[in-house]
Amino acid sequence: MESLTDEPDAILASGRRLFLGTVDGALWLDPATRAPRPLHVTEARPTKDGWLLTLAELTDRTEAERWHGRHLLAPVEELSPPEEDEVFTHELIGMAIVDDASEASLGEVIEVYDLPQGLLLEFRGAHGVHQLPFIDAFVLDVDREARTLRVRLPDGLLET
């Protein structure tokens, strides 16, 4: 598996609880019970391309392959809290975008794309849907409590 966490040794430690996710990263619910499916790590070791996991509830290769391409999710309350200058990616959805110069609201984050170059925010505002790289040159401040991103937009971004 490919790790999308900064703390794979902690998240994938033996005995840790994870949950099955969908292809797009949402929590998977069993159609019969409408409950999430917990999995327990029994072994994890790094490989050159990611991690090799053994999960107690996936007892054979056929069952494991059934879940190929899906996310494994860790309960947020069991994660280390983000540092002062950090944010969980999932928290960005729904955050308000505020222009640093004018203090005007520019819209709301509707999607976050994790690209090889870094995160790309998609936001919807009065001028339509736009994309903004999540880099220090453009995102000046993230206020997790107020759920706002203070930004300096590149010239011409809002022009149609």
The answer to whether residues 93 and 121 belong to one domain is yes
Radius of gyration of the chain (CA): 19
What local confidence, expressed as pLDDT, does residue 138 receive?
93
For the sheet with 128-133, list strands across it. 128-133, 118-125, 105-115, 96-99, 148-151, 139-143
Specify if 156 maps to a domain. no
Q: What does the mean pLDDT of the chain come to?
A: 89
pLDDT digits (tens, 9 = 90+) for 56-86: 999 888 988 888 889 999 988 888 888 877 7
Number of domains in the chain: 2
**Among candidate residues 77, 107, 133, the one where a domain is terminated:** 77
The answer to whether residues 70 and 43 belong to one domain is yes
**Among candidate residues 77, 109, 130, the one where a domain is terminated:** 77
What local confidence, expressed as pLDDT, does residue 160 receive?
56
Half-sphere exposure in the Cβ direction for 116 (13 Å, CA):
0
The answer to whether residues 55 and 113 belong to one domain is no
pLDDT digits (tens, 9 = 90+) for 29-44: 999 999 999 999 999 9
- What is the pTM assigned to this prediction? 0.68
Quick check: 123 and 96 in contact, CB under 8 A? no
**Among candidate residues 33, 56, 77, the one where a domain is terminated:** 77
Domain extent at residue 49 = 8-77
Reported confidence tier of residue 17, pLDDT bands at 50, 70, 90: very high
Specify if 143 maps to a domain. yes
Residue ranges of the alpha helices (H) in 2-160?
A: 8-11, 61-66
What local confidence, expressed as pLDDT, does residue 12 receive?
92
CATH number where 114 lies = 2.30.30.240
